[in-house]
Amino acid sequence: DAKTTQPPSMDCAEGRAANLPCNHSTISGNEYVYWYRQIHSQGPQYIIHGLKNNETNEMASLIITEDRKSSTLILPHATLRDTAVYYCIVRDDPYGNKLVFGAGTILRVKS
């Protein structure tokens, strides 16, 4: 079973920041948090990942709480092309590398 909890859907106005929350209260100390997104009928696309520090790349920022039990993905200026399903994932197998996907959050960016 997935070890993350995300809201099923969110709306965001075009040009505004989209803040997508994720709870992962059972995360262990050596597990990373990954974020992916999936545009309809395509393969998931990697966005960002982190362990304990906040991370930023050209696509997004990842804010992880100090206790690591939750995180927030931030798309600073959402566009219509950011409409997708966003998955928050923790690495399931510490000795391997399986990813366990939950249902994700459907983000709808509206003009």
Partner 1 sequence: DGGITQSPKYLFRKEGQNVTLSCEQNLNHDAMYWYRQDPGQGLRLIYYSQIVNDFQKGDIAEGYSVSREKKESFPLTVTSAQKNPTAFYLCASFSGQNYGYTFGSGTRLTVV
Interacting residue ranges for partner 1, rule: CB under 8 A? 2, 32, 34, 36, 41-47, 49, 87, 96-104
DSSP code string of 70-83 = EEEEEETT--GGG-
Q: Residue 53 or residue 111: which is nearer to partner 1 going by CB?
A: 53
Q: How far is the CB of 101 from partner 1 (least distance, A)?
A: 4
Q: Residue 13 or residue 103: which is nearer to partner 1 going by CB?
A: 103
What is the C-alpha separation between 111 and 98, in angstroms, rounded?
37
Q: How far is the CB of 4 from partner 1 (least distance, A)?
A: 10
Residue among 35, 43, 42 nearest 18 (CA): 35
Q: How far is the CB of 63 from partner 1 (least distance, A)?
A: 18
CA 84 to chain centre: 11
Q: Residue 10 or residue 14: which is nearer to partner 1 going by CB?
A: 10
The answer to whether residues 86 and 107 touch, using CB atoms and an 8 Å cutoff, is: yes
Q: How far is the CB of 53 from partner 1 (least distance, A)?
A: 13
What is the C-alpha separation between 12 and 43, in angstroms, rounded?
23
